[in-house]
C-alpha cells in the first residue's frame, strides 16, 4: 500500500501502520473507539486478522485491540508504513 | 459503615483487588432491575467498617453500555465516600482514560497502581508520590493476585475516606476550557460541584442531559454546540477525547519512567498469539482445548460422581437401618438425602469445568477464543464470547449459563442463556442410549449425533428469532483489549472456581432440593409409599398429561411421568421408566439385562412407543423440552425469574411443536 494514501482501517493489510484521520461512526462505536485511544492523529499497526477473516487486531498505544471490520470501517487513516 | 466503590478497566486486576480486600465477606446479587452482577463485600480497617461495592469493569464512563451507565450512576447518585480505581500499570495510558473520567466527577478517588511486578519487569516506574501530590489523590502500588501492598492500600483507604480530598481539576487546553466555560451557564440551576462535569457531558452529546435541563434548554444547548463545532472544525466529543489523551500524555511524561527492557512481555505474548490465533491453527487449537476440557471434566468428574453416588446411597441405607421403616424415615432417606445427592453429584464435574474456565480467563485465553470464533457467532446474531457458554452447554447447562456472565451486553447475555439449554447436555445422553438401543439398534451413534445437530440448528434459529423480536435495535461491540498472557495465581483461579461452585450450591441447591422433595411427595401421596406410583398424585399427573402427549405418539401415562421427573435431572427419565416397568432403577439397558429385567423394560417401552417414529419423537422432546431444575435455578440466578419462566415455557412449547410436526409427518411414511 502506498504511503500517505487515505484508506479505511478495515481495508488495511496486516503489517501496515497508519495514522487515524477521521472517525465516522454511530455515537456508541465512536465513543468506544475514542476511549480506546483511537483519536485522530494516533498511530497504529494492523497486527493480525482472525482465522475467519474478521475481527482484526491492532497495536495501538502499546496494547492489543481487537475490533470487527465493520467497526474498523468507521475509521479513516493515512498509511504511514509497511512492514 | 462507610460506602466505597471499586472501579477499573477489564483485565486490570479489579477482581483480585476486591478479593484481597474483602476475603470471604462477599455477597453476590444483581443491580436493581438489570441482569448485571453486583458484588459487594465488607472490610474492617482499624475499627472502621467499610462496604466495598464492585462496579462493572469498563473502559470508560460514557454510558455507552449498561455496565458503564451503572458505574456512572452509582458514583453520581450514591455518592460513595471514595472510589478506588484499579490500574494496569503496564497499560497505563489507556487505563488513565477512565481515571480522568472519574476524576471529572469531582469525588474523592484512590488510585491502585496494580501489576507492579510486571511493570518492574518491563522497566516501567511510576513516581507515585509525585503523581499523588500533582493530582491530589491517594496512590499506592500493588501486586493484587499475590496480595502484595494490600496492607498499605487499606491504610490509604482509611486516610482517603477521612480526608475527603477532592482531586485536582486537570485542565485541558485553553481553547477547550473556554468552550467548557461557555457551556457551564446552561447548568447554573444545578449542583455547582457537578457543573463542569455536566458541561463536559453536554459536549460529549450525552442525552441524559435532556431530562436534566428540559426539552427547550436542551435544544438551545445543542444549537450552541453545533456553532462551536463549526467554529473549531472538529466534533466536540472527539475534541474531549483528544484533550484527555493529551493530559494523560503530560502526566506520563512527568511521572512515568521507562527503562529500556520494554516489550519483553509484549514479545512473549505476541509469540504465543502467533500460534494461538494463527489463521490456520487458531481454530484447531481452540477445538483441542475444548476437547481437553471435557475429557478432564468427565474423567475426573466422573470418578467423583461415582464416589459421591456411592457415599450418598451408603449414608441413606445407614439412616434407613437406624430409623426403621416409617414414612418419616423414607422421607429422610429418599427425599432429603436424594435431594441433596441430586445436586451434590453434579458438583465435581461442575468444579472442574469452572476451574478450566477461570484458568482460561485468567491467563488471557478467553478473549482469544472470542476473537477466533466471533465471525461465525456474529453471523448467527451472537457474539464471539457466546461460544464458550454454548460449548459448555454440551457438558452441562449450569456452567454454560454461568459463563455467559462474561458477555458485556444484556442482549448477548440473555440470548446466549436462552439458547444454551438446546446444546444437548451430558445428562440427556443416557436417554438417547436407552431408546436408541431398543428402537434404532445398530444406529445409536447416528441417532445421537443427529439429535445433537438438531439441537445446534434449533439454537441458531432461536437465537435469530430472539434477536429480531426482543432486541431489534441493540448493537453490540467487539472493540476490546486482548490482554497480555499472564500466569495466574493458583489462589485466584481456584478461588474463582470455589466461589462459583459455592454460588451454585447456595442458589441452585435450594431450588433443586425443593423440587426433589415436591416430586417425592407427589409420588407417595395419597396412597402411601408401598402403593405403585400410578395410585399416587404422580399417576394422576401422568394420566392428565396422557392426552396432551398422545398427539406426539406417546401411548400411556408413563411417558408423562418420566418427563415430569426429568425436570429434576434429565437422566432420571431412564430411571423412571425402569422403576415403572420393572420396579428397579438402573441407568442403562445393560444393567437391566444383567438383572434379567431387560425384557420387561423393552416390552414396556414398546407399548408406550409403538414405533420408531414415536420413539424418535420422544427423543426430540427430551432434547428440547424444559431444562432441569438446576439449569432453571441458575438461569433465575443470572437473569431473573421472568427469563427463567420464559425459558421453561418456550422450550416446552418448542419441544411440543417439533415433536408434533415430526410425528405427524413421520407416520405418513410407515
Ligand atoms: N502479574 C500480575 N498479575 C495479576 C495482578 N493482579 C491480577 N493479576 C492477574 O491478572 C488476571 C486478571 O485479573 P482479575 O483480577 O480477574 O482482573 P479483572 O480486572 O477483574 O478482569 P476481568 O475479570 O476480566 O474483569 C488474573 O490472571 C490475575 O491473577 C498483578 O498485580 N500482577
> Could you tell me which of B115, B111, B58 has the C-alpha nearest to residue B89?
B115
Band the pLDDT of B209: cuts 50, 70, 90. Answer: confident
Rg of chain A over Cα atoms, rounded to whole angstroms, equals 11
Provide the Cα torsion B590, B593, B595, B596; round to 10°: 180
Residue at A42 is within a domain: yes
Question: CATH no. for residue A68?
Answer: 2.30.30.90
> Which chain B residues touch A62 with a CB distance below 8 Å?
91, 93, 266
- In chain B the domains, ranked by start, together with CATH numbers, are 2-163 (3.40.50.300), 174-258 (1.10.287.1770), 283-479+489-669 (no CATH)
How much is the ipTM here?
0.94
Edge-first strand order for the sheet with B37-45 is B26-30, B37-45, B48-54, B2-8, B82-88, B109-114, B138-141
Sort strands B124-126 and B256-258 into parallel, antiparallel or unpaired. antiparallel
Band the pLDDT of B103: cuts 50, 70, 90. Answer: very high
Residue B541 has φ and ψ, to the nearest 5°, of: -60, -45
Chain segment B615-668, per-residue pLDDT in tens: 999 999 999 999 988 899 889 888 888 999 999 999 999 999 999 999 999 988
Band the pLDDT of A33: cuts 50, 70, 90. Answer: very high
B43 CA to centre of ligand 1 in angstroms: 20
Contact present, B403 and B388 (Cβ < 8 Å): yes
Report the share of chain B in percent with pLDDT over 70.
91
pLDDT at A28 over 60: yes
Q: Residue with the nearest Cα to atom 24 of ligand 1?
A: B11
Which of B238, B266, B375 lies at the smallest CB-CB distance from A52? Answer: B375
| B173 close to A (CB below 8 A) | no
Chain segment B41-66, per-residue pLDDT in tens: 999 998 899 999 999 899 999 867 77
> Could you tell me which of B661, B356, B311, B664 has the C-alpha nearest to residue B500?
B356
B145 lines ligand 1 (CB under 6 A): yes
B77 CA to centre of ligand 1 in angstroms: 29
Residue at A1 is within a domain: no
Residue at A69 is within a domain: yes
pLDDT at B574 over 60: yes
Q: Residue with the nearest Cα to atom 27 of ligand 1?
A: B362
B20 CA to centre of ligand 1 in angstroms: 12
The H or E element containing residue B2 is: strand B2-8
Q: What is the mean pLDDT of chain B?
A: 86
Note down the domain range covering A64: 6-82
User: Between chain A and chain B, how many beta carbons pairs sit less than 8 Å apart?
Assistant: 118
Band the pLDDT of B346: cuts 50, 70, 90. Answer: low
Report the share of chain A in percent with pLDDT over 70.
96
Q: Residue B107: its pLDDT value, please?
A: 92
pLDDT at B267 over 90: no
> Could you tell me which of B172, B585, B571, B520 has the C-alpha nearest to residue B335?
B520
Chain segment B309-342, per-residue pLDDT in tens: 778 778 877 877 877 777 777 777 766 776 676 6
Residues 360-379 of B with CB under 8 A from A: 367, 371-372, 374-376, 378
Q: Residue B230: its pLDDT value, please?
A: 93
Q: Residue B589: its pLDDT value, please?
A: 67
Chain segment B465-506, per-residue pLDDT in tens: 998 888 777 778 899 999 989 888 888 899 888 888 887 777
Domain count, chain A: 1
CB atoms under 10 Å from CB of B63, counted, come to 20
Amino acid at each position: 500500500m502506498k504511503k500517505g494514501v487515505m484508506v479505511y482501517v478495515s481495508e488495511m493489510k496486516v503489517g501496515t501502520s497508519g495514522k487515524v484521520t477521521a472517525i465516522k461512526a454511530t455515537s456508541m462505536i465512536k465513543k468506544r473507539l475514542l476511549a480506546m485511544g483511537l483519536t485522530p492523529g494516533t498511530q497504529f499497526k494492523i497486527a493480525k486478522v482472525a482465522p475467519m477473516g474478521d475481527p482484526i487486531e491492532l497495536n495501538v498505544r502499546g496494547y492489543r485491540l481487537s475490533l470487527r471490520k465493520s467497526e474498523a470501517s468507521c475509521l479513516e487513516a493515512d498509511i504511514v508504513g509497511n512492514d | 459503615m462507610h460506602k466505597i466503590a471499586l472501579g477499573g478497566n477489564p483485565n486490570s486486576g479489579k477482581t483480585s483487588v476486591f478479593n484481597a480486600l474483602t476475603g470471604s465477606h462477599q455477597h453476590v446479587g444483581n443491580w436493581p432491575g438489570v441482569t448485571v452482577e453486583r458484588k459487594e463485600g465488607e472490610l474492617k480497617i482499624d475499627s472502621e467498617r467499610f462496604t466495598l461495592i464492585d462496579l462493572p469493569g469498563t473502559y470508560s464512563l460514557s454510558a455507552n453500555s449498561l455496565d458503564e451507565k451503572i458505574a456512572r450512576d452509582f458514583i453520581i447518585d450514591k455518592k460513595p465516600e471514595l472510589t478506588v480505581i484499579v490500574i494496569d500499570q503496564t497499560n497505563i495510558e489507556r487505563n488513565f482514560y477512565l481515571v480522568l473520567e472519574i476524576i471529572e466527577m469531582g469525588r474523592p478517588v484512590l488510585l491502585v497502581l496494580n501489576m507492579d511486578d510486571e511493570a518492574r519487569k518491563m522497566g516501567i516506574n511510576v513516581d507515585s508520590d509525585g503523581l499523588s501530590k500533582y493530582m491530589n489523590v491517594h496512590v499506592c502500588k500493588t501486586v493484587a493476585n499475590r496480595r502484595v501492598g494490600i496492607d498499605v492500600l487499606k491504610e490509604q483507604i482509611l486516610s482517603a475516606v477521612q480526608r475527603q480530598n477532592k482531586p485536582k481539576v486537570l485542565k485541558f487546553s485553553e481553547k477547550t476550557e473556554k468552550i467548557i466555560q461557555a457551556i457551564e451557564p446552561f447548568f447554573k440551576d444545578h449542583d455547582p460541584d457537578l457543573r463542569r462535569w455536566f458541561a463536559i457531558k453536554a459536549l460529549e452529546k450525552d442525552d441524559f442531559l435532556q431530562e436534566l435541563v428540559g426539552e427547550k434548554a436542551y435544544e438551545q444547548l445543542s444549537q450552541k454546540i453545533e456553532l462551536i463545532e463549526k467554529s473549531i472544525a472538529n466534533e466536540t466529543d472527539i475534541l474531549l477525547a483528544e484533550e484527555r489523551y493529551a493530559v494523560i500524555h503530560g502526566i506520563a511524561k512527568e511521572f512515568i519512567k521507562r527503562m529500556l527492557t520494554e516489550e519483553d512481555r509484549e514479545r512473549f505474548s505476541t509469540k504465543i498469539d502467533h500460534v494461538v490465533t494463527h489463521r490456520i491453527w487458531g481454530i484447531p487449537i481452540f477445538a483441542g482445548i475444548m476437547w481437553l476440557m471435557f475429557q478432564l471434566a468427565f474423567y475426573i468428574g466422573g470418578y467423583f460422581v461415582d464416589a459421591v453416588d456411592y457415599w450418598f446411597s451408603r449414608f441413606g441405607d445407614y439412616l434407613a437401618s437406624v430409623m426403621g421403616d416409617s414414612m418419616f424415615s423414607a422421607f429422610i432417606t429418599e427425599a432429603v438425602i436424594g435431594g441433596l445427592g441430586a445436586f451434590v453429584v453434579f458438583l465435581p464435574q461442575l468444579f472442574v469445568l469452572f476451574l478450566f474456565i477461570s484458568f482460561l480467563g485468567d491467563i488471557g485465553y478467553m478473549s482469544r477464543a472470542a476473537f477466533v470464533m466471533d465471525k461465525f457467532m456474529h453471523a448467527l446474531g451472537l457474539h464471539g464470547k457466546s461460544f464458550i457458554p454454548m460449548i459448555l452447554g454440551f457438558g452441562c447447562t449450569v456452567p454454560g449459563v454461568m459463563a455467559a456472565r462474561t458477555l458485556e451486553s444484556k442482549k448477548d447475555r440473555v440470548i446466549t442463556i436462552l439458547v444454551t439449554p438446546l446444546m444437548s447436555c451430558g445428562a440427556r445422553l443416557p436417554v438417547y442410549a436407552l431408546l436408541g438401543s431398543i428402537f434404532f439398534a445398530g444406529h445409536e451413534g447416528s441417532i445421537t449425533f443427529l439429535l445433537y445437530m438438531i439441537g445446534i440448528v434449533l439454537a441458531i434459529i432461536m437465537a435469530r428469532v430472539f434477536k429480531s423480536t426482543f432486541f431489534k435495535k441493540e448493537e453490540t461491540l467487539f472493540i476490546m483489549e486482548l490482554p497480555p498472557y499472564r500466569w495466574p495465581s493458583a489462589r485466584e483461579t481456584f478461588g474463582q472456581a470455589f466461589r462459583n461452585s459455592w454460588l451454585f450450591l447456595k442458589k441452585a441447591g435450594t431450588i433443586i432440593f425443593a423440587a426433589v422433595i415436591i416430586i417425592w411427595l407427589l409420588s407417595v401421596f395419597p396412597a402411601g409409599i408401598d402403593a405403585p406410583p400410578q395410585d399416587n398424585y404422580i399417576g394422576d399427573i401422568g394420566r392428565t398429561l396422557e392426552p396432551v402427549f398422545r398427539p406426539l405418539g406417546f401411548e400411556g401415562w408413563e411417558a408423562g411421568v418420566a418427563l415430569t421427573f426429568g425436570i429434576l435431572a434429565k437422566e432420571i427419565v431412564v430411571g423412571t421408566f425402569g422403576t415403572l416397568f420393572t420396579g428397579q432403577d438402573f441407568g442403562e439397558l445393560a444393567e437391566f439385562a444383567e438383572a434379567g429385567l431387560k425384557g420387561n423394560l423393552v416390552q414396556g417401552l414398546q407399548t408406550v412407543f409403538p414405533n420408531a417414529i414415536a420413539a424418535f419423537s420422544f427423543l426430540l422432546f427430551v432434547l428440547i423440552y424444559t431444562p432441569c431444575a438446576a439449569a432453571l435455578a441458575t438461569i433465575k440466578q443470572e437473569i431473573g425469574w421472568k427469563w427463567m419462566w420464559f425459558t421453561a415455557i418456550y422450550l416446552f412449547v418448542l419441544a411440543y411443536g417439533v415433536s408434533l410436526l415430526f410425528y405427524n409427518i413421520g407416520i405418513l411414511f410407515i
